[in-house]
Structure 1
Amino acid sequence: MPDVVQWESYFDSDEIVHKLSDPGRRRRCVEFGCGFGTFTRAAASLVDVKQIASFDIDDDMIRTTQMRLSDETSAEVFLTRRDFLADGCGLPDGWADWAMIFNLLHIESPSVLLAEAHRVIRRGGTLALIHWRDDVATPRGPSMNIRPSLTQCQAWAEQVGFQFASTPVLEGSPWHWGLRMTRLDAETRRDSEEPQV
């Protein structure tokens, strides 16, 4: 990882959390991988966000994020060191209104993480995804040969029960794509799976 200032020059975190969430329906957020707290802080600055549960496997990232959180935010932020790929996030089913999975879906088993997000997001809730683009050279990011495309991530998310919502243009984050998905409820999912005549 580069230093914080360099890392945060690659994103407009405020634009990302605004465009990939649903105002008025984002009271509780779960974040898979807090890193430096870039998006934790941006989400906590949204006035209608009241609770954020954020997880990372790295103690240093948890400490860094804790130090960077402002006392001025009204959101309660719970930071936990946890291997959420191996052990899940530990939150109750349907706890979150939205989840953030940013720059992670190049992992070996993306469907495991997406299934855990599906479990913890309430019906009708939002899944927010970003990743480094795979069609242009970027200043950071994983090797191009392991970067998933937006289309691939959408397909993975649909396989575990999400529905496409939007792909907003991220003007302040030119090296990333953004994808917003909605967690289907059981009835909607059955309807969508019925064969079309």
Structure 2
Amino acid sequence: MKLRESGMPPQDFWETLFDVPRILDAFGFGPDTAEVVELGCGYGTFTLPLARRIGGTVHTLDIDAAMVALTAQRAAEAGLANIKAVTRDVLAAGFGRPAGSCAAALLFNILHAEEPVALLRAAREVVRPGGLVAVIHWRSDIPTPRGPSLDIRPHPEKITAWAPEAGLAVEGTSFDLPPWHFGLKLRRA
């Protein structure tokens, strides 16, 4: 099931809304990072730069087959063999990876979903003990050029409250990811 308010603007506009290297740096992704799952590949905005950085494979999933095809095409054109893009409904069928097999899971701009705790639980299931669940979302304390309605945007405090329900621990506090986002690091115990 496609998430509420999850439509995408044109790619050229979308990709101006993020400082991708800064975001990936904030979560510590580098050559020592093994397998990663990403929920919602979109245009591959984070998928491709992440694949260039890590030593493992990026398993990226989206419910929109057109986005999966585009990301796979962009990966092929870039010569990135460590991206596996799959059409999948994670809420219905999980991430499709063995339990505890991934170093990290990316939940970027996705926790405005109707069932955010279920998404967090699915991410917890797929990461290894000590694994990272990296979360970013649109800020609601400043005007943003995009993002879901303010009434469904999760605040950092809300995500922090959901984390224990999903079996995750919050590492540190939320942090700004200029120009429009905040981030949180969650860990599987």
Name the TM-score, length of structure 2 as normaliser. Answer: 0.89
Q: Tell whether 2:179 aligns with 1:174.
A: yes
Decide whether the 8 Å contact of 1:43 with 1:49 is kept in 2: no
Decide whether the 8 Å contact of 1:22 with 1:126 is kept in 2: no
Match of 2:84 in 1: 78
Match of 1:16 in 2: 23
Match of 2:162 in 1: 156
Question: Aligned Cα RMSD in Å?
Answer: 1.6
Q: 1:132 aligns with which of 131, 138, 147?
A: 138
By how many angstroms is 1:67 displaced?
1.8
By how many angstroms is 1:182 displaced?
1.4
Q: Please list, as runs of the form range in 1=range in 2, the aligned pairs for 1:69-148 lying within 5 A after superposition.
A: 69=75, 70-73=77-80, 76-148=82-154
Q: Secondary structure at the match of 1:174?
A: coil
Q: Quick one: distance in 2 between partners of 1:54 and 1:104?
A: 14
Paired-residue identity, %: 40
By how many angstroms is 1:25 displaced?
4.9
By how many angstroms is 1:179 displaced?
0.8
Deviations 1:57-101 (A, max 9, x none): 00110111112225444x611111011112211211001100100
Deviations 1:26-64 (A, max 9, x none): 211000110110010121110x33211110000110111
Structure 1 residues 21 and 98: alpha-carbon distance in aligned structure 2, compared to 1, 3 A threshold: farther
By how many angstroms is 1:116 displaced?
0.5
Q: Which runs of 5+ in 2 are unaligned?
A: 1-7
Q: Which runs of 5+ in 1 are unaligned?
A: 185-197
Structure 1 residues 59 and 22: alpha-carbon distance in aligned structure 2, compared to 1, 3 A threshold: closer
Greater CA deviation, 98-107 or 87-96? 87-96
Q: Secondary structure at the match of 2:95?
A: coil
Task: Give the number of the structure whose alpha-carbon radius of gyration is greater.
Answer: 1
Decide whether the 8 Å contact of 2:58 with 2:83 is kept in 1: yes
Q: What code does the residue aligned with 2:188 have?
A: R
Paired residue total: 180
Q: What code does the residue aligned with 2:41 have?
A: C
Greater CA deviation, 95-104 or 16-25? 16-25
